[in-house]
Amino acid sequence: MKHLSEILAGVAALDEGDRPVTGLEFDSRRVKEGQVFVAVKGTQTDGHQYISAALGKGAVAVVGEVKPDDFPTDKVWVTVKDSAWALAQMSSAFYGHPSRDLKLVGVTGTNGKTTTVTLLHQLFTAMGVKAGLLSTIENKIGGEVLVSTHTTPDSVAINRLLREMVAEGCVVAFMEVSSHAIDQHRVSGLEFAGGVFTNLTREHLDYHGTMLDYLNVKKKFFDFLPKGSFALANIDDKNGLVMMQNTKAEKHTLALKRMADFSAKIRSNSLDGLHLEMNGHEVYARLIGRFNAYNLLTAFGVAVLLGESEEAVLQVLSGLPGAPGRFEKVADPNSKRMGIVDYAHTPDALEKVLDTINELKQPTVDLFTVVGCGGDRDKTKRPVMGALAAAKSTQAVFTSDNPRSEEPEVIIREMWAGVAAEDQHKVLDIVNRQSAIQTACRLAGNEGIVLVAGKGHEKYQIVKGEKIPFDDKAELLNEFLNTRH
C-alpha cells in the first residue's frame, strides 16, 4: 500500500496546475473543473459541509475526515485523520517540497518574531545572499515585497511562496511561526534548517485556554525539527530549555543574563541606540532597548549557525534599521517632542516598551501613552494593559484599537477596570484614535514623548468587519507638522 503522503501527492496532482481549494476559504466561484477539495475543520466553520457544493462545481476528488454516506462513486475520496495536516503534506508535495531547496529558519515565541526575521532578511541581503521573508508585516522574495495578511500564511500559500523564492534564486528564508500556525498544521510538511525560540508571555489565551497549552503548542515546533537542523533558544526565559527537551535538532542557547553559546552584555542603552559586547566583540546598533538586544543577539546566532563568520555578521548588523512599527521613532521637526510607534499589544510587550522609555528618557520629560486593545481577542489582558499604561505613563489615553465586532467603549471600560485608584486621574478615554493621538501630542508640549502602542506597522483599523485606512505613524507626523509651540 502506498504511503499516505504519496496518495495525497497523487490527489494533489489532479488540481491541473491550480492550488487545492479548502473548506476554510470555500467560495463556490473559486472551484474549477478537475480540482481537489480539502474539507478542513476551522474554528468557526467545517469544510465538510461544503463537499456537495464543491463536487457540484466540478471537483473530482475530496480529502476529508468523515466520508458522507451519499458520496458519489465516480469521485475520488481520501480519508485522513486530520485534514489540515493532510493539506500541509499535499501542499508541500504539490509544489515540489520547496523547503528542501533552501535553508528555512522558523522563529517562534510571543514577542520579537517580526523584528528577528526582519533583521535576518536585512542582514543576509546586505551580505549579498538572496533571502526570502515571511512575516506579520510583509512577505519578501529577495527585494520584491508582497502583502502579508497573517503572521503565518496557510500551508498552501507558504509552499507556493517558498517555491517562488526558490525559483527566484533565494538560498535562505526566514519566517515567523505563530502558535496558531503550529496548532493548525500550517507548517507541517515543511523541512526547517533551524528553529528559534524568543520568549513566552501571556497571549492568545482566547484560543489556547491556558499558558500550559500555549507552551505545549510552541514546544511541538521544536519536537518535530529534523535531525541535522538546529534549535536556538533564549534561556533567559524559563521556558527556553523546556522548548528543546525533546528535539532531535542540535541545541544552542542565547542569553544576556547567563552563560550561553551566544551571549551579549549591554554596555550602554540610549534613545540613539545600543552599545553591546556580543561573544567578545563590540558592536553599536541603531535599535533601542533591552528587548532589541535579544533580537540582535538572536539574529547574530542564527547567521553564525547558518555558516556566516561572527565578524562579518556584526559588521553588517550594526547598521540595520529593524522592522517598521517596532519601537519606531518619529521626530518632531518643530521641537524636541518625540513620537514612538510600537506594535505592543500584549501586557509583556507594552510593559517592556514603557520600561525602556522610562529608563532612557530624562526625568523631566513626560510620557504620554495612547493604547487600546483588540476586539474579539483575549479579554483578560485588557485590565492588565490598562493598569500598566496608567501606572507607567505621565498620562494614558485609552482609545480604539481594532475593535472588530465589539464596541470600543466596552473594551475601554474593561481596560479601566485594572487601573489602580491612585492612577485613575492620569487616564483619559477618547474613542476616536485620531483624536486620541492629537490630544496626546498636544499634551506633550515641546519635549514630551508620545507612545502610540498596539498597531505598529498596520495601516488600518478593523471595525465591524471593515478595514478602515489608518496609520499611527502618519497621524503622529501629521500632528507634529501641524502644531507649533
Domains of the chain by residue range: 4-93, 97-317, 328-482
Q: Between vectors from CA 197 to CA 192 and to CA 198, what angle results, nearest 5°?
A: 140
Between helix 83-94 and helix 155-167 the angle, nearest 10°, is 20
Write the secondary structure of 251-290 as one string of H (helix), E (strand) and C (coil).
EEEEECCCCCCEEEEEEEEECCEEEEEECCEEEEECCCCH
Cell numbers at 284, concatenated: 553599536
Q: Are domains 4-93 and 97-317 of this chain identical in fold? A: no
d(CA 261, CA 258): 10
Q: Are 149 and 158 in contact (CB under 8 A)?
A: no
Instruction: Supply the pTM of this predicted model.
Output: 0.87
d(CA 202, CA 152): 19
Q: What is the pLDDT of residue 129?
A: 98
Amino acid of residue 444:
A
Q: What is the pLDDT of residue 148?
A: 66
Q: Are 176 and 134 in contact (CB under 8 A)?
A: yes
**Under the phi-then-psi rule, with left for phi > 0, alpha for psi from -120 to 50, and beta for the rest, what region is 235?**
alpha
Q: Are 137 and 151 in contact (CB under 8 A)?
A: no
CATH classification code of 4-93: 3.40.1390.10
Cβ atoms within 10 Å, residue 269: 18
Q: What is the pLDDT of residues 415-448, one digit of tens each?
A: 999 999 999 999 999 999 999 999 999 999 999 9
Which positions ≥6 away from 478 have C-beta within 8 Å? none
Among candidate residues 33, 4, 6, 29, the one with its CA nearest the CA of residue 17: 33
Q: What is the pLDDT of residue 167?
A: 97
Q: Are 280 and 270 in contact (CB under 8 A)?
A: no
Amino acid of residue 90:
M
Fold of domain 97-317? UDP-N-acetylmuramoyl-L-alanine:D-glutamate ligase (3.40.1190)
Among candidate residues 254, 134, 201, 188, the one with its CA nearest the CA of residue 381: 201
Q: Give, in order, the Cα–Cα distances in Å from 201 to each of 111, 209, 223, 381.
A: 8, 14, 20, 11
Q: Which CATH architecture has domain 328-482?
A: Alpha-Beta Complex (3.90)
Q: Name 397's bridge partners.
A: 370, 428
Q: What is the pLDDT of residue 230?
A: 98
**Which residue ranges of the chain lie beneath pLDDT 50?**
1-21, 23-29, 31
Give the torsion sign (CA, 7, 8, 10, 11).
positive
Phi, psi of 376 (to 5 degrees): 60, 30
d(CA 78, CA 64): 6
